[in-house]
Amino acid sequence: MVGRSEVLREVMLETGTTQSELARVSGVRQSSISQCLSGKVNLSDEQLDRLLSCMGYRLEVIRRAVPPDLTRSERRSWMLHRRLSAHLTESDLEGWRPRIERNLQRLRAGVSGQPHLRNLDRWESMIEHGDVLALHRALTGLDRESIEMREVSPLGGLLPPEERSTVLRLAS
């Protein structure tokens, strides 16, 4: 995938636009353009589109969905937590709190090292603050941080057994 600085550089070369000229027509300082081209400063899509428009171009961003590269275990965990996420509301969280707190104590007694301890701290903070949105993100996220958080999830035992069985059957 071509980076934003490369796109800017290519269009500048194609149009014969110098940094100084782009600075004059865009109102962006030449030193800032230089930093963008060197990769020291990252441009947003909006900023890049603005600079490209000064040279007669537009930015086209193509987005597409791609399946994540998860291990069998990570996919199974994601599916279970995703199903649990469908049940998560502020009131459910309050009802689940005693079990979650017991699970946190059990996990803390049996887990050592990073990132597990840090992730337990994060779970504890989200639970303590009732941050349902952050919990949904951790339960359903496909980024490495969310995957690692689910490795020490204190939400075990909350999914009704019949739903758990259904998810495990689908996961295999």
For 48-85, the pLDDT digits (tens) are 999 999 999 999 988 889 899 999 999 999 999 999 99
Query: Given its phi and psi angles, is residue 16 left (phi above 0), alpha (psi -120 to 50 degrees) or beta?
Result: left
Cβ pair 50, 79 in contact under 8 A: no
Contact 150, 141 (CB under 8 A): no
Q: What is the pLDDT of residues 93-143, one digit of tens each?
A: 999 999 999 999 999 999 999 999 999 999 999 999 999 999 999 999 999
Domains and CATH numbers, the chain: 4-53 (1.10.260), 72-171 (no CATH)
Average model confidence (pLDDT) across the chain: 94
What's this model's pTM, rounded to 2 decimal places? Answer: 0.67
Give me the pLDDT at residue 39, please.
87
